[in-house]
């Protein structure tokens, strides 16, 4: 196999949860979403990988929010849980955990519906 190929893995996770938006003097109704979160991950160059290692890290980050009202879970109890804020927070959390395993999170996308996606490199 050529060493010049760019190789990465793509993982998808579906986060089923509720949230609401806060404004200075009001808030929206609690409403559900199934966020689709896609991560592109690069490994340390090994030909064989243990997929469950990365899947376990991904679950560790997202499980506290699964089937919850996101506004009730840190840091979104004080940070408005917009798609953008969630994407930035989740990317930082995943990056740190993956680096410990010699993996690099190259990109994260998060969609609250099929028409809108927030992308972070």
Overall residue count recorded for the chain in this entry = 121
Residue 58 tokens, joined: 């991904």
Q: Which of 7, 98, 13, 93 is nearest to 48 (CA)?
A: 7
- Check: CB of residue 54 under 8 Å from CB of residue 98: yes
Please state at what angle helix 51-62 crosses helix 83-99, rounded to 10 degrees. Answer: 140
Q: Which of 114, 14, 36, 27 is nearest to 71 (CA)?
A: 27
Which pTM value belongs to this model?
A: 0.90
Local confidence pLDDT in tens for the 121 residues of the chain: 456 666 788 999 999 999 999 988 899 999 999 999 999 998 866 666 678 888 999 999 999 999 999 999 999 999 999 999 999 999 999 999 999 888 899 999 999 998 999 999 9
Residue 84 tokens, joined: 């953008």
């Amino acid at each position: 196999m050529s060493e010049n190929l760019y190789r990465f893995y793509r993982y998808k996770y579906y986060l089923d949860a509720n949230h609401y938006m806060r404004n200075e003097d009001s808030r929206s109704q609690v409403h559900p979403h199934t966020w689709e979160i896609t991560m592109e991950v690069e490994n340390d160059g090994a030909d064989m990988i243990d997929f469950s290692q990365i899947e376990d890290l991904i679950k560790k980050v997202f499980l506290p929010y699964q089937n919850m009202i996101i506004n009730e879970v840190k840091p979104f109890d004080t940070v408005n849980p917009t798609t953008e804020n969630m994407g930035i927070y989740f990317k930082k959390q995943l990056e740190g955990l993956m680096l410990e395993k010699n993996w690099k999170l190259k990109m994260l996308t998060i969609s609250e519906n099929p028409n809108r996606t927030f992308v972070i490199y």
